[in-house]
Amino acid sequence: MSRTRTQIVIVGAGPAGLLLGQLLHREGIDAVILERRSHEYVLGRIRAGVLEQGTVDVLDLAGVSARLHKEALVHEGVGIGFQGRRHRIALKQLVGKSVTVYGQTEITRDLMEARAANGAASVYEAEDVTLHDWQGTSPRVTYRKGGVTHEIACDFVAGCDGYHGVCRASVPADKCKVFEREYPFGWLGVLADVPPPWKELVYANSARGFALASLRSPTRVRCYVQCPLDDRVEDWSDTRFWDEFRRRIGEDVAAGVVSAPSIEKSIAPLRSFVVEPLRFGRLFLAGDAAHIVPPTGAKGLNLAVSDVFYLYEALRDHYRERREAPLDEYSPRCLRRIWKAERFSWWMTRQLHLFPGDAFARRMQETELEYLFESPAAQASMAENYVGLPFESAAAGAQAHVA
């Protein structure tokens, strides 16, 4: 067995793990990233694309935003369609902030390139990652690579390994509390290389179900339709997808839709999930390892970034000042923001999807969306959440905790 030592072992090279590694590197804190998939597999995953201003600010801080500022699209509004009408929520006008469209794949690429340029250690295709003694003072992480077992001793473990990862699963059930809601439908998503005929995202609640017209760049669209959970991707030819999308998205948008061949097609279930707390001894969870939101509110990646920023600040202050308090505050500080994003994602999902057989829910949607279209106050509330609630400063968090 090979034995080494570092300050932080980060499990998972998704956006959370890579970003934490980059922020720590700039602070002079050593970290090793262990990822079970290959470099190419991680880079090939198609997921999020809508970034809050706070997320862009953290990418600036991490020094990985040069390409983003050249290529990303800034959106100052978002459309909501219902029963043949569409209302634009004028984000910038209402709350003075916008969202940035830049694919998670591009963020991952920028972070991987920065890590390679730094010469920082990442192990891809690390098998059987196992956590040891994270409840004591000398945690260790073991893994296998190329038939050899390796052990890394460390000060802390950052569990950035997503919903199906090993870190949360290592915590005994009686040490944490899980809150979960599953929704009775999924999202069928198609990625296609065609210029988007829409300038901003359009969310539509139609009598046939939800649809979302989104994009990743000036030449690439990402579109979704609500589908039954037991549907399979093979059930949906490209022609069937685009026909259904046109029926749901609203006539004027539908008129410009091109039935381009898909370059990726997948079905994702929708789930709300939070584990409390996010700290267990010397193990810290961040990102999808600790929480899942339905993608309707575009919050998953953004929440991963705010967790990572809070964890980076806590570790930075711990190493600079040898204090435990910032680490103690990590979990409550994250959870205050997580629950607000969970609430908003749940609200967006409830208002925009078809819940079959629930006539009361339909009337509530009609009323809620009518109120949203009529009330500048309701629009401002939606806009405030969509662009992202502000990050809590470490000092403010400490005060809130004490109070």
CB of 217 to ligand FAD, least distance (A): 14
One-letter amino acid of 331: S
d(CA 336, CA 167): 22
Nearer to ligand FAD, 11 or 314 (CB): 11
Among residues 237, 199, 235, 233, the alpha carbon closest in space to that of 218 is found at 199
Residue 124 bears catalytic tag: no
Residue 228 bears catalytic tag: no
Residue 143 bears catalytic tag: no
CB of 83 to ligand FAD, least distance (A): 25
d(CA 290, CA 164): 10
d(CA 87, CA 74): 19
CB of 162 to ligand FAD, least distance (A): 3
Nearer to ligand FAD, 277 or 373 (CB): 277
Q: Which residue is catalytic, options 265, 295, 312, 318?
A: 295
Place of tokens 């806009």: 383
Q: What is the largest CA-CA distance in the chain?
A: 66
Q: Which residue is catalytic, options 265, 291, 299, 318?
A: 299
Nearer to ligand FAD, 288 or 342 (CB): 288
The length of the chain in residues reads 403
Q: Which residue is catalytic, options 15, 25, 75, 326?
A: 75
d(CA 302, CA 47): 12
Nearer to ligand FAD, 55 or 205 (CB): 55
Residue 203 bears catalytic tag: yes
Residue pair 100/108 in contact (Cβ under 8 Å)? The answer is: no
Q: Which residue is catalytic, options 183, 203, 224, 330?
A: 203
Residue 295 bears catalytic tag: yes
d(CA 387, CA 335): 19
Q: Which residues bind ligand FAD (CB under 6 A)?
A: 11-17, 34-37, 42, 47-50, 104, 126, 129, 160-162, 164-166, 187, 189, 268, 287-288, 295, 298-302, 304
- Which residue numbers are catalytic? 75, 203, 295, 299, 386
